[in-house]
Amino acid sequence: MQRRLFLAAGGALAGFGLWRVRSHAANLDPLADFALTGQLTQGGWARGKAPLDTARLLFGGREVRLAPDRTFFIAFDRDAPPRAELVAEMNDGGASKGQFAIAPRSWQIERIPIGPRPGSAPSEEFARRREAELAQIKAARLRDNAVDGWRQKFIYPVFGRISGRFGSQRIYNGTPGAYHSGMDIATGTSGTPFVAPADGVVILAADSAFTLEGRLLMIDHGMGLNSAFLHCSSHAVKTGDRVHQGQFIGRIGATGRATGPHLHWSIKWREARLDPLLFVGNMPG
């Protein structure tokens, strides 16, 4: 049987080079076709439905879990290559392959004609502390919860000025610095409440401030998708709590490495770093 991959662009954002609509979901053949909807661009994501008799789904060679209704979630790193492939291994031993394009983005790059700041070498104590913090973050991301936030249309955790964009990067005299891994939202003050962008389970609510992230809050939205909120002044939830979209979960602050109060919101799917803007659209004016 000839199997096809159908793509439908959803939640249109101007200027991001979205994949064209090729077909309408109504025309899909559930026995043979993938359905894929989302933001097929670097830092973006897609939700899809696997063909009816799929035994195992692979994305980039790695298995992707299917919900009981065969829905799945995949996402594309900030530096994802221009082509991606989904393979459904079928119960009858056959396979269904679908290739699609990941539209490149042009990131905000700032070239600085001097070398990187010669920071002092980190102390042994800092290195030890950092190692313990990273271990906590890693362990949190391994927690896997049966939660359906990944199916939802995300909402802004707080409204304010976007003071830092995902993917932006400084290049110091030819040496690239780390790119900005999330979206910064500033309300001009500490203490502004923020809410869960989608349903989830709290996988980390750091009691004390981490060296860089400050008071860090992490939420698992299921299927490998999670949000992190950095620099909080306080948390309204604790590790293990179930949260619902729109629920008050914490307050903005400037803990950790922050020049002023803001919420740094980052989203990851597995190892892929994603652009929150592609989940929520432009900030309402």
Return the H-helix or E-strand segment holding 85: strand 83-90
Q: In the complex with Zn ion, which residue's Cβ is closer, 38 or 214?
A: 214
Q: Count the Cβ atoms, other than its own, within 10 Å of residue 75.
A: 27
Q: Any bridge partners for residue 183, and if so which?
A: 265
Stretch that binds Zn ion, among 32-40, 53-61, 221-229, 260-268 (CB under 5 A): 260-268
CB within 8 A of 196, min separation 6: which ones? 149, 157, 219, 227, 243, 244, 245, 246, 247, 249
Stretch that binds Zn ion, among 85-93, 102-110, 217-225, 262-270 (CB under 5 A): 262-270
Q: In the complex with Zn ion, which residue's Cβ is closer, 108 or 152?
A: 108
Q: In the complex with Zn ion, which residue's Cβ is closer, 98 or 160?
A: 160
User: Hey, which residues between 145 and 184 contact Zn ion (CB under 5 A)?
Assistant: 164, 184
User: Hey, which residues between 179 and 218 contact Zn ion (CB under 5 A)?
Assistant: 184
Stretch that binds Zn ion, among 12-20, 51-59, 121-129, 257-265 (CB under 5 A): 257-265
Measured CA distances, 242 to 99, 249, 276 (Å): 36, 11, 21
Report the amino acid identity of residue 87. Answer: V
Stretch that binds Zn ion, among 48-56, 93-101, 136-144, 261-269 (CB under 5 A): 261-269
For 220-281, give the DSSP string: EEETTEEEEEEEESEESS-TT-EE-TT-EEEE-B--SS-SSSBEEEEEEETTEEE-THHHH-
Position closest to Zn ion via CB:
264
Three-state DSSP class for residue 139: helix
Q: In the complex with Zn ion, which residue's Cβ is closer, 164 or 281?
A: 164
Beta strand 109-112 with 83-90: parallel, antiparallel or unpaired?
unpaired
Judge whether 98 and 74 are in contact, CB under 8 Å.
no
Three-state DSSP class for residue 141: helix
Q: How far is the CB of 42 from Zn ion (least distance, A)?
A: 18
Q: How far is the CB of 157 from Zn ion (least distance, A)?
A: 13
Q: In the complex with Zn ion, which residue's Cβ is closer, 73 or 229?
A: 229
264 binding Zn ion? (CB under 5 A): yes
Beta strand 34-38 with 62-64: parallel, antiparallel or unpaired?
unpaired
Q: In the complex with Zn ion, which residue's Cβ is closer, 164 or 193?
A: 164
231 binding Zn ion? (CB under 5 A): no
Q: In the complex with Zn ion, which residue's Cβ is closer, 49 or 264?
A: 264
Q: How far is the CB of 107 from Zn ion (least distance, A)?
A: 15
The length of the chain is: 285
Q: In the complex with Zn ion, which residue's Cβ is closer, 78 or 264?
A: 264
- Count of residues interacting with Zn ion (CB under 5 A): 3
Interaction pattern, residues 113-152, with Zn ion; x per rule: CB under 5 A: ----------------------------------------
Which residues contact Zn ion (rule: CB under 5 A)? 164, 184, 264
